[in-house]
Homo-oligomer: A and B are copies of this chain.
Amino acid sequence: MTAVDELVARALDGDPRAVARLLSLVENGSAELREVAALLTPHAGGAFVVGITGAPGVGKSTTTSALVSAFRARDERVGVLAVDPSSPFTGGALLGDRVRMQEHATDAGVFIRSMATRGHLGGLSWATPQAVRVLDAAGCDIVLVETVGVGQSEVDVAALADTTVVLLAPGLGDGVQAAKAGILEVGDVFVVNKADREGADQVVRDLRATVRMTEHPPGAWRQPILTTVASRGEGLDEVVDAVEKHRSWSADSGEAGRRRVRRARDEIEAIALTGLRRRFAGLHGDARLDELAASVVAGEQDPYTAAEKIVAAMS
């Protein structure tokens, strides 16, 4: 067997060190990923993927950790991917928030990994589905994908999750209100954490008003709005119940299948674009692209003309 064959075989048996090594290959964009994906694909598809997202400071790590406990209490094997798109350059994921996960560190039924997604185009959309596939094939029943931040990463996590939990919290300033518009479109379950703090009621009321204003055709999913105090473990069973309820609804309505096809489609596109990008670089080298860029800066040609030269050369 080749090294990758063996690694995959061990990961399929649930060996945590083999899983960790495969995740490193994903994170580093290894050339062996293609082989890894080919070997894993027939064994993947069993895991239920839950996305957890929200602005910084809402208590994502605490909530994720509590959800791990809740799913473990139901005897499910749980994988956690904490994806941090805010450190594209440094590479290493930040460990500060992960401290809260320590209680699960010695539980053989839990696999936790922090990932940084480097690179520009398609960082999260490219690496995360592959990392999910590793955990899925390794036998995780649930994969929790936690993303820091608002904005594009939120949309990306929703695109790859079966169920997306959006966290909010009171007292985070009006930026959070602004973020809601985007959040509402991606959330299947809303959780207002730090519900014991002043202003929590207002956040709940605002959310309710907005959910009411959203169109819900007959049979559509109505996003529940739950409250938690994750630091004290309060309200988390209800979150798990809501996630399970969304899971059943998705299966019955066919939404689950549609999301998975969309997820695979996004992944195929991301991989194809990466391949095409590499081909540009191979055909022209970085110097040629810099030359074109310099001529655009000088006002000699517009960027469309420059782009067309690249595209034409690839046909």
Q: Which A residues lie at the B interface, using CB under 8 A? A: 33-34, 37-38, 40-45, 55-58, 60, 84-90, 94, 96-97, 120-125, 129, 148-155, 159, 172-179, 181-183, 185, 257, 260-273, 275-277, 279-280, 289-290, 292-294, 296-297, 299, 301-308, 310-311, 314-315
Contacts and interface: CB of A to CB of B under 8 A. Distances in A.
B56 A306 contact: no
A122 to B, nearest CB: 6
A44 B303 CA distance: 12
A41 B292 CA distance: 13
Contact of A151 (B60, B150, B273, B290): B150
A178 B268 contact: no
B304 A38 contact: yes
B264 A85 contact: no
Contacts of A96: 174, 177-178
Given A41-B301, A152-B88, A153-B152, A271 B307 contact: yes
A94 B178 contact: yes
Contacts of A148: 150-151, 175, 178-179
A89 B185 contact: yes
Contacts of A121: 121-122, 125, 269-270, 273
B56 A175 contact: yes
A256 to B, nearest CB: 10
A270 B153 CA distance: 18
Nearest to A305: B38
Given A44-B299, A151-B85, A302-B34, A310 B178 contact: no
